[in-house]
Amino acid sequence: MTEPRPWTTPPAPVLAGLLAALLLAPAAWSAPPPPRTSAGGPHAERAFVDALMARMTLAEKLGQLNQPPGVGNNTGPAAMAGSEDQVRQGQIGSWLGTRGAELTCRLQRIAVEDSRLGIPLLFAYDVIHGMRTIFPVPLGEASSFDPEEVRNAARIAAVEATAHGVHWTYAPMVDIARDPRWGRIVEGSGEDPYLGSVLAAARVRGFQGDDLAAPDTLLATAKHFVAYGAAEGGRDYDVADVSERTLHEVYLPPFKAAVDAGAQSIMASFNEVAGVPMHAHGPLIQGLLRGEWGWDGVLVSDYTGVMELMPHGVAGTREQAGRLALHAGVDVDMVSAIYLQDLPAAVEAGHVPLAEVDASVRRVLNAKFRLGLFEDPYRYCKDGARQQAMTLTDEHRAAARRSAQKSMVLLENEGDVLPLSKSLRTLAVIGPLADEPWAMLGNWVGIGRPEDAVTPLAALRQTLGAQTKLIVAKGAAIDDDDRSGFDAAGRAARQADAVLMFLGEHPEMSAEANNRTSLDLPGVQEQLALAVAATGKPVVAVLLNGRPLSTGALQGKVPAILEAWFPGVEGGNALVDVLFGDVNPSGKLPVTVPRNVGQVPIYHARRNTGRPPAEDNRFSSKYLDVHWTPLYPFGHGLSYTRFEYAPPQLASAQVSAADPRQSVRVRVTNAGPRAGAEVVQLYLRDDVASVTRPVRELRGFQRVELQPGESRELEFMLGFEDLSLYDVDMRRVVEPGTFTVFAGGSSEAEQSARFEVVAP
């Protein structure tokens, strides 16, 4: 790779003179812009961007708002990529799906050295749960309830992605998802806005690091703004008809957390909200996000999202779609090329104010300034050795293994079948996913490769060696009705001391556009599991999937069930660590698991009706054919040891509504035989309020590691954000009255205490 021409930064006095000359002397406008460091604060940023914008033509401004798909694009339907000649003409501000140190440096060199203004490009890529070192899918990471582990995974992803020339990731997805039929539930943190907010902030901090101008930081994008997870019927791209209260209480909090954590980018969602498509929703983008929250980052469309205002039915032409989106505050037009092609005439005709164009251009240039690209446009790609040295390192693989261990949720363990003994003479390994590398990686895998992944079968062979005979039988495919392999699976089970079954979904059964009407195991896998369990041998079912699965038919028949999600590049090793007891499982469900799809939506923070479900009241809110309770509640997760909770202790029986701070202390004891980690969860209920409230809301959690017999007292602090609600006038207030706190290992925690909030 040819070494790019270095840039140098002039001293501050020289820079000031150059800026003044640019502003006052039109003759200088044809010269390249002065290089600029990100140091100097917002005044320096504004002065630099002002000077640059004063030299830009309308075509060059709209070019900054244009993002075509590039080489390596792996998302969305097929679309024509932009050209190098467009870069020379200043018609491209950023590229989608383009990576690689050599390629990005070549394109950057064209932008910087061959275009009139030399404005550097941004390279965007979907780095969702790893670049080359693939971590568990985000729903799996959320099961760890470990913000630091989640932050570290994003930090490693940023290190690898930036070594490949990437500046901008379209992650984290912070959509709250309460319908597991929706394929994109796999990309987020589940159903709870508190957990979702904590992990949204952790991922933003991981991607963006401590200094955005450092050469290993990515622009983080909180997506999809907003209520994308509320799509009707769990159908991707569908409408979201949510109330203002639900919007503010459930779907907006993770975005606010991401903004507060410093997220420099947000992506608009495909859906409409109450009749207004989000790509044209000025009140939420310009009014709430930019106005009320004071956010000044880049709002990027989703793939062809601007163009899709036409099939939504709010725009009749491409120009109308572009006008609506730009006016609403969508800065970057991904793939549609409407801003570039259709808005020049609209601006010149006075249909689009130039001020709206300038506002969006400013935000794009600000992002490039904050990344340090004007100081050194090649900072992410000029060191080709870094790309190799920082990719899939031993340290990164170790972190992926640790993350996978923490993400696994032990759903059932009747008779303490788990952990298995490493001295087993024979072990049957059954199921379609025992040796499938892509079942480790999952979906949205960046540049992850199947050959990098350690499968369960490979890890078992490596760990157990020759002392344990492995009897392998596939049994059935993932999603067809062929039962011809059942007999071989039964024979394998009968010959073995214990049975491991690896069941679940193909990765393409979840993620974007991959929605399901059933939450059962696909194909005949459930029947396979029951047939193998009928042999009477100890059976462990390991689930590899991207959404909660309704496995109620296995309860009482398959004694041990481990939810492993799609666990990442080190998934096989992590599974063996957990199955054989080297690691005690500690994951907790970030989403409620229904008994069947007919219970959807079902989530822990529900509101009661006037007739709550009751066993002795036929006329209450429940079903005829299944119990109203879930198969597994939010926060559920077993361990190889046992944890006991004492009633929570409150600092005060009363707190003032004017200063509603309450300390809650929770003592937890490891009452079992093994060391283990527990996620201690704190829930809150506003007992009587001016509006209906959830039966309980998650308001805190802490992971704690305890030795057998060890106790620990943990403190949780409650404040205004925890105790407040939106009243009938949608004002955020703390109302006098009683509150109940619950502490335990799931959302069904029973230990409780009550305190009162009194009027000041």
Question: Is position 302 annotated as part of the catalytic site?
Answer: yes
Tokens of residue 312, six digits: 């939504």
The CA distance from 584 to 586, in Å, is: 6
Active-site residue, from 192, 302, 577, 722: 302
Question: Where do runs of H (alpha helix) occur along 515-673?
Answer: 525-533, 571-579
The CA distance from 429 to 609, in Å, is: 47
Would you call the peptide bond into 396 cis, given omega within 30 degrees of 0 as the criterion? no
Q: Could you tell me if 504 and 529 are in contact, meaning their C-beta atoms sit under 8 angstroms apart?
A: no
The CA distance from 489 to 429, in Å, is: 9
User: What angle is formed at CA 439 by the lines to CA 433 and CA 440, rounded to 5 degrees?
Assistant: 120
Contacts of 106 (CB under 8 A, 6+ apart): none
Q: Chain-centre distance of CA 742, in angstroms?
A: 27
Give SS3 for 732: strand
Q: Could you tell me if 212 and 228 are in contact, meaning their C-beta atoms sit under 8 angstroms apart?
A: no
The CA distance from 205 to 195, in Å, is: 16
- State how far the alpha carbon of 213 is from the alpha carbons of 265, 338, 388, 428, in Å: 15, 31, 22, 53
Task: Tell me whether residue 642 is exposed, middle or buried, using C-beta atoms within 10 angstroms of its C-beta: 0 to 12, 13 to 18, 19 or more.
Answer: middle
Q: Of 396, 397, 420, 416, nearest to 577 (Cα)?
A: 420
The CA distance from 751 to 648, in Å, is: 7
Task: Tell me whether residue 102 is exposed, middle or buried, using C-beta atoms within 10 angstroms of its C-beta: 0 to 12, 13 to 18, 19 or more.
Answer: middle
Tokens of residue 642, six digits: 């046992």
Give SS3 for 224: strand
- Computed on alpha carbons and rounded to an integer, the radius of gyration of the chain in Å comes to 27
The CA distance from 500 to 429, in Å, is: 5
Edge-first strand order for the sheet with 751-758 is 654-656, 751-758, 737-744, 676-686, 697-706
Task: Tell me whether residue 551 is exposed, middle or buried, using C-beta atoms within 10 angstroms of its C-beta: 0 to 12, 13 to 18, 19 or more.
Answer: buried
Tokens of residue 32, six digits: 């390249």
The CA distance from 453 to 436, in Å, is: 9
Q: Could you tell me if 181 and 234 are in contact, meaning their C-beta atoms sit under 8 angstroms apart?
A: yes
Q: Could you tell me if 664 and 650 are in contact, meaning their C-beta atoms sit under 8 angstroms apart?
A: yes
Give SS3 for 443: coil
The residues annotated as belonging to the active site are 302
